[in-house]
Amino acid sequence: MKKDERLISHDEIHKLLHDNAEKGFIHTTYQEESQRFHYLINGDTRAIEDSMRLMNPELQGKLSNDPVRNMRYLFVINTGLATRYLIEAGIPQEMVYSTSDLYIQKADYATTINEIRELNHELWTVFVETVKTFKRENLYSKPILFCLNYIDSHFNEKISLEAVADKLNLNPCYLSTLFKKETGKTFAGYVLDMRIRTAISLLTKTDYSYTQIAYSLAFCSQSHFTKTFHKHTGYTPKQYRMSFYNTNLSAIEYSTK
């Protein structure tokens, strides 16, 4: 066999493009995948649900004629991508690789699609919990740990210190003082920090409009979002997107002029 006979030709690639177009099939976009991994590196449990949704051959494409092998390939690809994002997020490399290696080995022995889907759910649950653990490296008191977990899950909603204090049956002034003492930030400052960091991710990794981002992060208006974002980053949302769109995650921090 000649060397070039084993190469996939441009004709084959164009045929697949044509076949996909005929079927109306479009792969999930880079922005959609980035959103899932944004959830993951923030320890957001929505990453688990999204990973299960995307373990769907109809969304990811056909990698093998054998359904089980196809699902196994999808699992390996998604696991490999997740490990890269976790390492960029600061999780120790060897811990991440060792965990993914073990689950890929398990997937290698799986004989049904459901087994692989269950492994995927288990793995992403482990990954999310690992992120949460490393985000809590400092030892916080029980009330502040509750606050941090609550903020992580509700920062895209209207949220107040008074409401959280009520859930904890604590005096708001006491909780405010304790929060600042243990985190180094005010409650409102911590919430705003989460919103700005999420806005940065959405601006650089999705095509959501500025209005969509503003309201999804509980800003009262797009103008309020723009003013606040500029104050904390030195950029308007439009300037930030134009400058850093699709920037590597490890570089997405508070970039100031």
| Count of the separate structural domains present in the chain | 2
Residue 2 domain-assigned (yes or no): no
Q: Of 81, 110, 135, which marks where a domain is finished?
A: 135
Tell me if 1 is assigned to some domain: no
Q: Are residues 196 and 222 in the same domain?
A: yes
Mean pLDDT rounded to a whole number for the chain: 82
Whichever domain contains 52, its CATH number is 1.20.120
Does residue 100 carry a pLDDT above 80?
yes
Return the structure tokens found at 1: 């066999």
For 211-255, the pLDDT digits (tens) are: 999 999 999 999 999 999 999 999 999 999 999 887 654 444 554
pTM of this prediction?
0.55
Inside any domain, residue 3 = no
Instruction: Report if residue 57 sits inside a domain.
Output: yes
Highest mean pLDDT among 23-32, 149-158, 173-182: 173-182
Only one residue has tokens 């699992």, namely: 75
Residue with tokens 């799986």: 110
Q: What is the DSSP string of 106-138?
A: HHHH--SHHHHHHHHHHHHHHHHHHHHHHHT-S
> Across residues 200-206, what is the average pLDDT?
87
Domain shared by 188 and 125, yes or no: no
* Residue 171 within a domain: yes
Reduce the DSSP state of residue 44 to 3 states and report it. Answer: coil
| Count of other CB atoms within 10 angstroms of residue 249 | 17
pLDDT score at 172 = 96
CATH classification of the domain holding 244: 1.10.10.60
* Percent of the chain with pLDDT strictly greater than 70: 79
Are residue 104 and residue 154 in the same domain, yes or no? no
Q: How confident is the model at residue 85 (pLDDT cuts 50, 70, 90)?
A: confident
Structural domain including 29 reads: 9-135
Q: What is the pLDDT of residue 32?
A: 63
